[in-house]
């Protein structure tokens, strides 16, 4: 399921840009700032410095297990 995987990048404030959380469904190898942060909030020369501050994590979950657990808890 494409909704069961995502890359989450947490980017702190940088210069005059506020911090932001970015989520995108990408493969594990593409889980980095350059593939997830769109649109890039900083101009070309600042991209590398901005991306070095971002923390990106690849996340997987099983939505079927979550749904079954919810049904059991609500029953």
Looking at residue 18, the DSSP 8-state letter turns out to be P
DSSP assignment letter at 61: -
Give me the residue spans of the domains in the chain: 5-74
Give the model confidence (pLDDT) of 1-47 as tens digits.
556 889 999 999 999 999 999 999 999 999 999 999 999 999 999 99
pLDDT at 3: 65
Helices and strands (H, E) in the chain, number of each type: 3, 3
Q: Which residues of 34-53 are buried (b: 16+ CB within 10 A; e: fewer)?
A: ebbbeeebbeeeeeeebbee
The pTM (predicted TM-score) of the whole model is 0.75
What are the beta bridge partners of residue 10? 21, 55
């Amino acid at each position: 399921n494409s909704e069961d995987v995502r890359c989450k990048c947490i980017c702190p404030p940088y210069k005059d840009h506020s911090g932001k959380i970015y989520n995108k469904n990408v493969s594990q190898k593409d889980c980095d700032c350059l593939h997830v942060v769109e649109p890039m909030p900083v101009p070309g020369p600042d991209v590398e410095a901005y991306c070095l501050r971002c923390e990106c994590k690849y996340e997987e979950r099983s939505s079927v297990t979550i749904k079954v657990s919810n049904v059991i808890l609500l029953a």
